[in-house]
């Protein structure tokens, strides 16, 4: 069997079946090409490439493949990968088969694949060790590290707003000036697209003024806008070597680098923190302050309570601790 080319068989981008369909308009083809987010496509492409490499080595067909091939593949994969990684690989295989026209006869949906996945989850567990959260208390540590220069003002606004709005990295760097509205109570930010908002309805996040100016996201953003004299375009941008402001938005990877920088300056272990530490920190801090799950979800835009309840459990791990109650008595 000759080696299969990943590029030719990955159809979630540049799907020839759609591109060569003369009955579809150019507008329809263009919109269908954006059915999934770019980050999702990149992850699926990487997953599909690994599956194709395995099929090439074992001389098995990849498109269409068989349920038995998928089961054998994920059992080899499970020797070194986490259960959540295995599940994502199966999803990538399934989505690519759907894109190729095998939706009704999708091998990834067969019963033996579900049984194999269940066995792997039971054996390995599905707990994921995430990065450490930036808690409300941590913000006070970080606030001592910001200077009065323009770079520090941007970083302060980014970190405080990332926490207050429970933003994902991609959401934070995509904020534009025309999506921000200031009010006597604080500010609102309209998010046109989010991970859980696949239909693009958008959502509006409210950020009230903090009683303590030291950690106030609204004041930090106001100061950044005023100093940088930003009137339109992206809120958060990079700098040229001469410290002039760039026109382009920051990359989402920059959020992690900025968080790590100030964690290090505050004397924390920077390897434990990342861009997601801001969003996770908000949810965990809210749980520590006895905020209910639905109220937390309104700010984090989670569609499922499962992850939020995990944050609540982590936030209350000492508060609802049996030994702590015994000590209090």
Please identify, in words, the CATH class of the domain defined by 136-315: mainly alpha
> What pLDDT does 327 receive?
76
Task: Round to whole Å and give the CA distance between 75 and 123.
Answer: 11
Structure confidence by residue, pLDDT tens digits, 126-184: 555 567 899 999 999 999 999 999 999 999 999 999 999 999 988 999 999 999 999 99
168 catalytic residue (yes or no): yes
What confidence score (pLDDT) does residue 29 get? 64
Cα separation, 255 vs 159, in Å, equals 8
Report whether pLDDT(71) > 50. yes
pLDDT confidence of 7, banded at 50, 70, 90? low
Fold match between domain 6-124 and domain 136-315: no
Integer angstrom CA distances of residue 92 from 11, 109, 142: 11, 12, 39
Average of pLDDT values for 309-313?
73
Q: Is the pTM of this model over 0.85?
A: no
Question: pLDDT value at position 328?
Answer: 73
Instruction: Note if 193 is an active site residue.
Output: no
Q: Which of 44, 73, 262, 311 is catalytic?
A: 311
Q: How far apart are CA 325 and CA 180, in angstroms?
A: 45
* 7 or 227, which is more confident: 227
- Residue 5 CA neighbour count, 13 Å, CB half: 3
Between CA 102 and CA 5 the distance in angstroms is: 19
Q: Which residue has the tokens 């095998």?
A: 102
Residues 97-114 pLDDT 10s: 988 888 888 999 999 999
Residue 308 reports pLDDT greater than 80: no
| Token digits of residue 43 | 């992850």
Residues 243-265 pLDDT 10s: 889 999 998 889 999 999 999 99
Identify which of 133, 134, 171, 125 has the alpha carbon closest to the alpha carbon of residue 156. 134
Instruction: Point out the catalytic residue in the list 89, 260, 276, 301.
Output: 276
Closest CA to 182 of 219, 214, 139: 219
pLDDT tens, residue by residue, 191-245: 987 655 555 578 899 999 999 999 999 999 999 999 999 999 999 999 988 888 9
Q: Calculate mean pLDDT across residues 3-26.
A: 69
Whether the Cβ atoms of residue 98 and residue 63 lie closer than 8 Å to each other: no
Q: Which of 195, 237, 303, 309 is catalytic?
A: 195
Give the residues across from 203 on adjacent strands.
191
pLDDT value of position 313: 73
Domain ranges of the chain: 6-124, 136-315
pLDDT above 70 covers what percent of the chain?
A: 85
How far, in Å, are 165, 206, 281, 284 from residue 189 at the CA level? 9, 7, 19, 22
Active-site entry in 174, 279, 280, 301: 279
Q: How far, rounded to the nearest angstrom, does the alpha carbon of residue 40 sit from its chain's CA centroid?
A: 10
Please tell me the predicted confidence (pLDDT) of residue 1: 47
Beta-carbon count within 10 A of 114 CB: 13
Which ranges constitute the DSSP H helices of 10-110? 16-19, 26-32, 38-58, 67-77, 83-99
pLDDT band at residue 2 using 50, 70 and 90 as cut-offs = low
Considering 89, 97, 156, 168, which one is annotated as catalytic? 168
**CATH number belonging to domain 6-124:** 1.10.150.130
Residue 86: HSE in the Cβ half-sphere, 13 Å Cα cutoff: 27
The verdict on whether 195 is a catalytic residue reads: yes
């Amino acid at each position: 069997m000759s080696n299969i080319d990943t590029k030719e068989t990955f159809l979630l981008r540049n799907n020839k079946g759609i591109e060569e369909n003369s009955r579809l308009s150019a507008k329809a083809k263009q919109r269908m090409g954006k059915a999934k987010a770019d980050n999702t496509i990149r992850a699926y492409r990487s997953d599909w490439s690994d599956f194709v490499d395995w099929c090439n080595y074992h001389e098995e067909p990849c498109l269409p493949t068989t349920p038995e091939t998928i089961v054998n593949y994920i059992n080899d994969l499970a020797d070194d990968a986490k259960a959540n990684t295995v599940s994502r690989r199966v999803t990538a295989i399934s989505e690519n088969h759907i894109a190729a026209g095998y939706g009704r006869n999708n091998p990834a949906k067969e019963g033996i694949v579900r049984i194999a996945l269940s066995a792997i989850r039971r054996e390995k567990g599905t707990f994921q060790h995430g990065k450490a959260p930036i808690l409300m208390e941590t913000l006070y540590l970080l606030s001592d590290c910001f200077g009065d220069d323009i770079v520090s003002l941007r970083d302060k606004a980014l970190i405080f707003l990332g926490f207050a709005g429970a933003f994902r990295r991609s959401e934070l760097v995509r904020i534009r000036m025309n999506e921000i509205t200031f009010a006597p109570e604080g500010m609102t930010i309209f998010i046109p697209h989010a991970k859980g908002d696949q239909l693009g309805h958008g959502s509006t996040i409210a950020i009230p003024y903090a009683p303590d100016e030291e950690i106030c996201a609204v004041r930090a953003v106001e100061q950044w806008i005023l100093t940088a004299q930003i009137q339109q375009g992206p809120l958060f941008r990079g700098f040229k070597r001469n410290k002039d402001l760039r026109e382009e938005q920051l990359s989402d990877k920059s959020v992690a680098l900025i968080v790590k920088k100030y964690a290090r300056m505050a004397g924390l272990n920077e390897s434990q923190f990342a861009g997601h530490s801001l969003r996770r920190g908000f949810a965990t801090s809210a749980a520590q302050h006895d905020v209910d799950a639905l109220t937390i979800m309104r700010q984090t835009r989670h569609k499922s309570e499962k992850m939020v309840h995990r944050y609540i459990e982590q936030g209350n791990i000492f508060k609802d601790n049996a030994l702590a109650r015994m000590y209090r008595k």
